[in-house]
Chain A
Amino acid sequence: MNAIEVDSLTKRYKAAMAVDNISFVVPKGQTVGLLGGNGAGKTTTIAMILGLLLPTSGRIHVLGHDMTRDRFAALARVNFSSPYVALPHRLTVAENLRVYCHLYNVHGVEKRIAELADELDLHAFINRPAGQLSAGQKTRVALAKSLINRPDLLLLDEPTASLDPDTGDLVRSWLEKYRAESGCTILLASHNMDEVSRLCGTVLMMRQGRIVDRGTPGELLTRYNRLDLEDVFLDIARSRQPELAR
């Protein structure tokens, strides 16, 4: 059973092709990475999977639901985090989480907030307005919001962007632990190579709206004859063929 099925997905704006006829599946319980440079189409793909953006053509099924016809049935079991979408700055962390408990119809609101505060160590700033938090604290709060409904599918758009290495590592460790405990499926868009090779079982390499290669991190390293994924990324970003990469 697949958590996400994307078939011939295309998004064309007036003059630009943002996503060009991509197809992939994300099996349940796996973490799949969307890797690519700026403008590769990662965020656009995630936005279409969430139903925030309508595709020009193609089909998307999330947790068995067709996202063009039945997206609300899927959205109750999905959640999302991105550093580019903020939480209301004047509300405290607890108030923000309370709002999303109601929006996702979570029962036992205060208990769930206390659980998340324990798991993500939010206690020190749980009653502070979200706008007064550091980047690392905001990321943890955004993660808490994305887990509020114990999602079956978690979409993360560059979850550690703008974080220092220590906080980034904490977030990655926490995601590994959470996936192992919950069996949640994760689709992770990133251009952080360490993050992708550490968290993802499968990597989809994107460039100019297309999936130009795919495989496990190990398979990609072998195919491009490289020692780390960053070099594979550069080969793909600079349109070098696997056999010509070195």
Chain B
Amino acid sequence: MSSLRRIWGLMYRHLTLFRRSWPRLVDLAYWPILQMMIWGFTSRFFTSRLGDHGMVTIGMLLGGVLLWETALRSHLGFAVTFMEEIWSRNLGHIFVSPLRPWELLAALLGMSLIRMLLGVIPAMALAALLYHFNILSVGPVLILFALNLMVMGWWIALGCISLILSQGGGAESLIWSMLIGLSPIAAVYYPVSILPHWLQPVALSLPAAHVFEGLRAAISEHVIRWDHLAWAASLNAVWLTAAMLLFMQQFNAARRNGALMNIGE
């Protein structure tokens, strides 16, 4: 019970920031909406050229946009919430309170989920209103796709935070670039088979590639590719375990070298 209270305490600190600042709220939804508009109009253009076949293409592209934003917003929600503590020089107070490291991670997950929903739901609504694309029509399997991408966002964020603990605030730029940098090999908008042969195993080591292969199968063939989902979940389990071990190693290293006391630029 006291664990839940401490987790809520840290979440309350971050939720209060949103309550006070509407630009922060707008910022959450701004990029997903922008992406949706760009890809939505691009898809419309394709449809006008490709006819009925284009509808499937629209579904794949807009479904890709929404699910990729799910991963991206989950990643940023987790990592930026941690960075807020560094920016406000509050980490010292946090780490000498009874808040356990796992409770800190749980609070970051909670904030990540809230930030992701606030970012992605407006984009979903826009897709339905402007382009008549309802991603919910994919069915309940959508939850499994989204969950896998959220977990992927979290372990990448955990990896970034570990690097910040190790290298200081100078590694902050990784937060903004890491997941975006993976997008060419995450097979968001095109199948893995389009990639060069040597790059395909790299792509398939990412859960995202399996999720998007599964999404395309669900939209174009109306089948659920359980094999891809199993791969995505298994890879997430492996990567998440590795990221947690890395975090604990770097957290303890930061306690040894004093980084928790003066982490910053």
**Chain A, 93-121, CB within 8 A of any chain B CB:** 95, 98-105
The reply to whether A102 and B6 contact each other, CB–CB distance below 8 Å, is yes
A53 at the interface (CB under 8 A from B): yes
**Chain B, 80-109, CB within 8 A of any chain A CB:** 84, 88-100
Q: Tell me which of B15-23, B41-49, B53-61, B204-212 binds A.
A: B15-23
The reply to whether A85 and B258 contact each other, CB–CB distance below 8 Å, is no
* B88 nearest CB neighbor, chain A only: A88
Fill in one digit per residue for B1-14: 1 if any A CB lies within 8 Å of its CB, else 0.
01001101110110
* A43 CB, nearest partner CB in chain B, Å: 8
Known: A13-B257, A104-B98. A87 touches B12 (CB 8 A): no
The reply to whether A75 and B13 contact each other, CB–CB distance below 8 Å, is no
A72 at the interface (CB under 8 A from B): yes
Known: A47-B261, A88-B88. A103 touches B97 (CB 8 A): yes
Partner of B252, one of A54, A86, A88, A101: A54
Separation of A47 and B260 alpha carbons in the complex (Å): 10
- A53 neighbours in B (Cβ, 8 Å): 255-256, 258, 260-261
The reply to whether A52 and B261 contact each other, CB–CB distance below 8 Å, is yes
**Chain A, 109-145, CB within 8 A of any chain B CB:** 145
The reply to whether B88 and A105 contact each other, CB–CB distance below 8 Å, is no
Known: A85-B92, A90-B20, A145-B93. A54 touches B9 (CB 8 A): no
Known: A95-B16, A145-B93. A105 touches B5 (CB 8 A): yes
Number of interface residues of B (CB under 8 A): 33
* B89 nearest CB neighbor, chain A only: A86
The reply to whether B258 and A47 contact each other, CB–CB distance below 8 Å, is yes
Known: A13-B257, A87-B90. A75 touches B9 (CB 8 A): no
The reply to whether B90 and A90 contact each other, CB–CB distance below 8 Å, is no
- A54 neighbours in B (Cβ, 8 Å): 252, 255-256
Known: A47-B258, A102-B8. A89 touches B88 (CB 8 A): yes
- B96 neighbours in A (Cβ, 8 Å): 50-52, 75, 78, 80
A22 at the interface (CB under 8 A from B): no
Separation of A14 and B13 alpha carbons in the complex (Å): 37
Partner of B95, one of A52, A76, A104: A52
A82 at the interface (CB under 8 A from B): yes
Separation of A76 and B96 alpha carbons in the complex (Å): 9
- B100 neighbours in A (Cβ, 8 Å): 72
* A91 nearest CB neighbor, chain B only: B16
Separation of A13 and B261 alpha carbons in the complex (Å): 14
A-B contact pairs, 21 of them (CB 8 A): A52-B92, A53-B256, A54-B255, A72-B100, A76-B98, A85-B90, A85-B91, A86-B89, A87-B88, A87-B90, A89-B88, A90-B17, A91-B16, A95-B16, A98-B12, A99-B13, A101-B9, A102-B5, A102-B10, A103-B9, A105-B2
Per CB-CB distance, the 3 closest pairs between chain A and chain B, nearest first, are: A102-B9, A85-B92, A86-B89
Please give 15 more A-B residue pairs, beta carbons under 8 A apart, in addition to A13-B257, A105-B2.
A52-B255, A53-B256, A54-B252, A72-B98, A84-B92, A85-B92, A87-B90, A87-B93, A88-B13, A88-B17, A95-B16, A100-B9, A102-B5, A102-B10, A105-B6
